[in-house]
Amino acid sequence: MNSLIPLLVAAPLAGAALLLLGGRALDRFGHWLATALAALSFGFGLALFSDMLGREAEHRAITKHLFSWIPVNGFQADISFRLDQLSMTFVLLITGVGTLIHLYSVGYMAHDERRRRFFAYLNLFLAAMLLLVVADNYLLLYFGWEGVGLASYLLIGFWQHKPSAATAAKKAFIVNRVGDMGLSIAIMLMFVEFGSFSFEPILGSAGTVGGAAQASEGKLTAIGLMLLLAACGKSAQVPLQSWLGDAMEGPTPVSALIHAATMVTAGVYLITRSSAIFDLAPDAQTAVVVVGAVTLLFGAIVGCAKDDIKKALAGSTMSQIGYMVLAAGLGPIGYAFAIMHLVTHGFFKAGLFLGAGSVMHGMNDEVDMRHYGGLRKHMPVTFVTFGLGYLAIIGFPGLSGFFSKDKIIEAAFAKGGTEGWILGLCALVGAAVTAFYMTRVMLLTFFGEKRWQPDADGNAPHPHESPKTMTIPMVLLAFGSVFAGGLFAYNGSFLTWLEPVTGHSEGDSPLAPLVVTLLTTACMLAGVAVSYLMYGRSAVPVVPPVGSPLTRAARRDLLQDDFNHAVLVRPGSALTAALVYFDSRGLDGFVNGLAATIGGISGRLRRVQNGFVRSYALSMFGGTLVLVATTLLMRSV
């Protein structure tokens, strides 16, 4: 069974290679090939899953050593894989949701002339993401980490003819580079400290003690903070959050798969995978929860102000991942719930994005929600699936989000002490705001009067339901949005499943679980009510009102770009300008001066070459004299 693990990665990788190298011959059926390979990978995942279920909980982790890439004494870089319950969860999520989104893209990208390339990149993404989660060492993980970054870059900028898309792709790439630096430094630190890249010698496993257990807290804190930096970049957490909103320039299936369901959760995976390090570095853990709490509020506030449906959802993604990071920072109290929320979020957020894509599909690619309205009658399937996703994300009792988010809020309170209260209240406020902005999205899009207008070319949109290839994935994801949470929470099944990998402790909550649940539900209902009062009762203006300073700031992503520009770009530009000045005046001046000197000497010397044979003979004669004289002189010295 172990040998199936490499095939998980190989199937989509082969698809990417075939589609990229195959040329036009594959234009007709390339998208189906890509979808089939994604499904094949999902099939492998299911086979491995059933095999894993057949074993005792302690023996579920399996490894597969493929080959040694650099087998040098003291430096072992292996291509080897590890599949345990944590990886398995991700594999199923990635391949499952990935296959559905491949299917959806068949319809969504039907009219794009570069469709084959799009599917090649999607397959490339799947391969890299799977590699990231099944790698048995940090070096291979890094390979996958960079691979998903590449795929993300390529797909955000897929419509590169639009300057905004090209810029967004570059922005995502550059911001991620900061995070990637963190990961590479963390890996180097680990190698220096533990002499290995592999998970087991560093993190330990059931029965063995890893190097982390013996390392000093300071070093673990350093490694932890660098890993957190990496997670911030990939998962769009404050302060490296600025790229995610712009990344919505990519095609909507990409936003759903990469920038909602899977890639952006890689940071949570990294933190959870490295739990052995974080558990022994409390300061790094504190940094993690702070980042999570700040981001969950940040994203939620941004989500309230956006009129672009995808950007509103992007703010929401940021906020929900904030919840996951918060939970992961809580240590063994929260790891399992972080992953649980990650999976349920994967279902409902992917569903919401696909719904948004479906709406755009029917509305001539209009993204401004103020130009929607009353669409429920025109797109019934989209309305129902989107509505179920909506109920799931706000945590409506009984749906997926309810179970997973409620557990995280409980865990936040269970952290104990003042810290627990602060984190818990943040999470509660976040739940209320989430309900507010998601209700806003729902109301603006599907309810109220129709507000759409002809576009600049005079084409009035004719909202219509999307084709089957698009609605079927939406329906399937809606099932996940509704039932996954309940399934996971039933009898603590998800907790039991993950516990061998992440460990679990109950913590010490000052509030009874039932109280927390009631509070959460109350907050949620309050958010819905406020939103309804603001957007459901009165007509929505097509042109956005000026709004309060906070609203205006939130529309500009809480001034993140202005902040980056003032704090990073401007000093950076000044430094670059100074270096360029030094380079051009100092170094280049020297080099150019040297070149000019040589040129000048050359020009002078050329005059000696005057073409007169008598001068040549004279110079030879002089040379001979010098030669003879020097030879004689050498003897006498």
Which positions touch another protein (CB under 8 A)? 595, 598-599, 601-603, 605-606, 608-609, 611, 613, 615-617, 619-620, 622-624, 626-628, 630-632, 634-635
Token pair 């009219």 is at which residue? 111
Nearest to another protein of 68, 630 (CB atom): 630
Cα(273)–Cα(339) distance, integer angstroms: 11
Strand partners, 82: 63
Nearest to another protein of 398, 623 (CB atom): 623
Nearest to another protein of 586, 599 (CB atom): 599
Cβ 629 to another protein, closest distance in Å? 9
Host H or E run for residue 496: helix 493-502
SS (H, E, C) 584-614: HHHHHHHHHHHHHHHHHHHHHHHHHCCCCHH
Q: Would you call 82 helix, strand, or coil by DSSP?
A: strand
Nearest to another protein of 69, 621 (CB atom): 621
Cβ 588 to another protein, closest distance in Å? 15
> Which amino acid is present at 459?
N
Cβ 615 to another protein, closest distance in Å? 8
Nearest to another protein of 207, 603 (CB atom): 603
Q: Would you call 308 helix, strand, or coil by DSSP?
A: strand
Nearest to another protein of 589, 600 (CB atom): 600
DSSP tag of 368: B
Nearest to another protein of 559, 628 (CB atom): 628
Cβ 23 to another protein, closest distance in Å? 25
Strand partners, 78: 68
Nearest to another protein of 550, 617 (CB atom): 617
Identify whether the C-beta of residue 190 lies closer than 8 Å to the C-beta of residue 226: no
* 138-156 and 217-234 helices, crossing angle to 10°: 20
Cβ 603 to another protein, closest distance in Å? 5
DSSP tag of 449: S
Distances (CA, A) of 139 to 81, 132, 227, 388: 12, 10, 13, 40
Name which of 270, 263, 393, 400 is nearest 329 in CA terms. 270
Cβ 626 to another protein, closest distance in Å? 8
Nearest to another protein of 572, 589 (CB atom): 589
Widest pairwise Cα distance in the chain: 113
Report the helix count and the strand count for the chain, using DSSP H and E: 26, 2
**Pairing verdict, β 62-72 and 75-83:** antiparallel
Cα(210)–Cα(141) distance, integer angstroms: 18
Nearest to another protein of 518, 625 (CB atom): 625
Nearest to another protein of 569, 629 (CB atom): 629
Token pair 């990496």 is at which residue? 230
**Phi, then psi, of 198 in degrees rounded to 5:** -75, 155
Question: How crowded is residue 50: how many other Cβ atoms within 10 Å of its Cβ?
Answer: 10
Name which of 315, 305, 320 is nearest 245 in CA terms. 315
**157-166: long-range pairs with CB below 8 Å, 24+:** 157/249, 157/250, 158/114, 158/117, 158/118, 158/121, 158/250, 158/251, 158/254, 159/249, 159/250, 159/251, 162/249, 164/246, 164/249, 165/249, 165/250
Nearest to another protein of 460, 608 (CB atom): 608
Q: Would you call 205 helix, strand, or coil by DSSP?
A: strand
Cα(510)–Cα(320) distance, integer angstroms: 24
Nearest to another protein of 454, 600 (CB atom): 600
Nearest to another protein of 580, 629 (CB atom): 629
Name which of 89, 194, 56, 73 is nearest 137 in CA terms. 194
Cβ 609 to another protein, closest distance in Å? 6
Cβ 636 to another protein, closest distance in Å? 10
Cα(439)–Cα(196) distance, integer angstroms: 49
Cα(558)–Cα(38) distance, integer angstroms: 38
Cβ 226 to another protein, closest distance in Å? 38
Q: Residue 243 corresponds to which tokens in the numbers above? A: 């790229």
Cβ 618 to another protein, closest distance in Å? 10
Nearest to another protein of 206, 620 (CB atom): 620
Cis? peptide before 397, omega within 30° of 0: no
Cβ 612 to another protein, closest distance in Å? 9
Cβ 621 to another protein, closest distance in Å? 8
Identify whether the C-beta of residue 93 lies closer than 8 Å to the C-beta of residue 262: yes
Cβ 595 to another protein, closest distance in Å? 7
Nearest to another protein of 543, 637 (CB atom): 637
Q: Residue 124 corresponds to which tokens in the numbers above? A: 């490339």
Cβ 186 to another protein, closest distance in Å? 37
Cα(40)–Cα(389) distance, integer angstroms: 27
Distances (CA, A) of 180 to 218, 231, 286, 354: 22, 9, 21, 29
Identify whether the C-beta of residue 370 lies closer than 8 Å to the C-beta of residue 543: yes
Distances (CA, A) of 136 to 131, 234, 354, 561: 9, 20, 33, 37
Cβ 596 to another protein, closest distance in Å? 11
Cβ 585 to another protein, closest distance in Å? 21
